[in-house]
Amino acid sequence: MEKDQFIETILNSSKGISHVAPSNDLFSKIEHGITAANVPARTIWWVAASVAVLVALNITAVSAGKKPAEDQTTTVLASTLAPNNQLY
C-alpha cells in the first residue's frame, strides 16, 4: 500500500511540466554558429593550399640555408692545405 503510493507519487511528479525557453542570447550564438558553418569549401581549400605552399617554402629555405655552411667548412679545410700539394 505504502509502496504503491510511493510509486504513484513519483510517477505523477511529472504532471504540470511546462515548456521553458533558454537564455535570450542563444539566438546570437546560433547565428554565429551558422556563419561559422557557412564558410565556403573553396575558401577552406585556398587556406589549406596556402599553408602547404608556406610549409614547402620554409623547408626549401631551411635546406638552402644549410648548404653554404657546409661549403664554408669545405673552403676553410681547403685553405688550410698547402696549395702546391706538398705535405711538408
Partner 1 sequence: MQFHLNDFKGIYDQYVALVYTVALHYLQNTQDAEEITQDVFVQVHQSLHKFRNDAALKTWIYRITINKSLDFIKYKKSRKRFFVFGHKADAEAELHKIAHFEHPGILMENKENAEQLFAVINQLPENQKTAFLLSKLEGLSNPEIAAIMEVSVSSVESLVFRAKTSLREKLAAKFETHRKKK
Binding site for partner 1 (CB under 8 A): 2-3, 6-7, 9-11, 13-23, 26-27, 29-31, 33-34, 37
Neighbours of 53 (CB within 10 A): 10
Nearer to partner 1, 14 or 63 (CB): 14
Nearer to partner 1, 13 or 80 (CB): 13
Distance CA 59, CA 62 (A): 5
As measured in angstroms, the least distance from the Cβ of 44 to partner 1 is 16
DSSP structural state of residue 81? S
